[in-house]
Amino acid sequence: MKSAALPTVFIIDDDKGMRQAIEDLVESVGLRAETFASGEEFLSRRHISGPSCLVLDVRLPQMSGLDFQRRLTETGTQIPIIFITAHGDVPMSVRALKSGAVEFLTKPFRDQDLLDAIQQALQHDRAAQEQQAEIHDLRERYHTLTAREREVMALVVSGMLNKQIASEIGASEATVKIHRGNAMRKMQAASVVDLVRMADKLKLPPGK
């Protein structure tokens, strides 16, 4: 958990009145809020850090909310989205939710529904960020491994014994042991089970 930044709620709505109302509501519960009139404005201004979520109006000029959502996914920006719309229909909300929206609220909405959705989204984002940070950490550790050590690690994770590994890579059992020890140490794995979990998180391909 490197980041302890204050959670932020980003609000994108072309209607200024709506934008200010939501901002005020969010702030009344002690959260930080930032408002944008369009998706483009958000993309050009915002560098996300810390747990955050997006309150997004479906109908926006130029790029609609749904298009914007797809755009974020494509660029690998993961941020929980709460859709709000004044003209919601079922197919639209289904599509939005399928695409990973946290909530789909129809204006006017109950304030508690929005705040709950925001809390849930922030929670979700915080978890995701933590996971993101752990994976980032693991990846850095993994990068310190030599090619031989990575090869041995993959075979270990696949459940092979030292003897089998030695025959697989054409090395002595003693050498395998040294590589295995190095990998465990560099990855800071407490046990083989721990190492398997790490490999899983790193989505490493299983060795033969």
- Chain contacts with other proteins (rule: CB under 8 A): 15, 17-18, 20-22, 24-25, 27-29, 59, 61, 64, 67, 70, 84, 86-87, 107-111, 114
Least Å distance between CB 73 and other proteins? 13
Nearer to other proteins, 59 or 186 (CB): 59
CB of 52 to other proteins, least distance (A): 20
Residue 53, SS3 per DSSP: strand
**Separation CA 203–CA 16 (nearest Å):** 44
Continuous segment of H or E residues that includes residue 14 = none
Q: Decide whether 9 or 198 has the Cβ nearer to other proteins.
A: 9
Take residue 129 and report the two structure tokens written for it.
Answer: 């960020």
Q: Min. distance of Cβ 10 from other proteins in angstroms?
A: 16
Q: In angstroms, rounded to a whole number, what is the distance separating the alpha carbons of residues 14 and 57?
A: 8
Smaller CB distance to other proteins: residue 22 or 176?
22
- Rg of the Cα trace of the chain? 23
The residue length of the chain stands at 208
Q: Is 159 left (phi over 0), alpha (psi -120 to 50) or beta?
A: left
- Residue 132 corresponds to which amino acid? Q
End-to-end CA distance of the chain: 34
Q: How far is the CB of 7 from other proteins (least distance, A)?
A: 18
Nearest approach in angstroms of CB 77 to other proteins is: 18
Question: Nearer Cβ to other proteins, position 8 or 85?
Answer: 85
Toward other proteins, which CB reaches closer, 12 or 166?
A: 12
* β-bridge partners, 9: 33, 53
